[in-house]
Amino acid sequence: MTKEVENMQPRSGIATLADLRKGGFVDDLSDAIAEVTTAVIAHKKAGTITIKLAIKPCESAENALFIQDDIKASPPREVKPVTLMFSDEEGSLTREDPQQPNLDLGAEIKVVRINDKQGVK
């Protein structure tokens, strides 16, 4: 190995990423960053972006490589409320507990007002 080759620095990773898919990788990454950032601000929760580069040799050329990129944006999502449901004997779901007896809410309720001057006896 010559002294000149030993002193060479590897090419910048940023420059390499900019070349992927003729700049398409950087465009997609910018979109992912904007999507996750907007969702993080809106939901006040963390989000992630995962970048994966798969590098494979090209069989027809000794020093040629195939690079497949994958950008996965995982913005936080709105937490939707849960629904409490009960299962009956047949396995069907219902909002009412089949093991709880129904209350007769149609019964007449008598409201008695107590005069403030008399107090409660």
User: Greatest CA span in the chain, whole angstroms?
Assistant: 109
| 114 vs 121: CA distance, rounded Å | 10
For residues 66-91, give the mean pLDDT: 92
pLDDT at site 1: 52
Which is more confidently placed, 115 or 34?
A: 34
DSSP three-state, residue 93: strand
Q: Residue ranges of the domains in the chain?
A: 9-74
| 23 vs 66: CA distance, rounded Å | 16
Residues forming a β-bridge with 57: 65
Give phi and psi for 49, each to the nearest 5: -130, 125
Tens digit of pLDDT for each residue in 26-44? Answer: 999 999 999 999 999 999 9
DSSP three-state, residue 54: strand
Reported confidence tier of residue 89, pLDDT bands at 50, 70, 90:
confident
Tens digit of pLDDT for each residue in 39-78? Answer: 999 999 999 999 999 999 999 999 999 999 999 999 999 8
Q: Does residue 79 have a pLDDT over 60?
A: yes
The β-bridge relationship of strands 93-94 and 65-74 is: unpaired
| 4 vs 15: CA distance, rounded Å | 22
Reported confidence tier of residue 105, pLDDT bands at 50, 70, 90:
confident
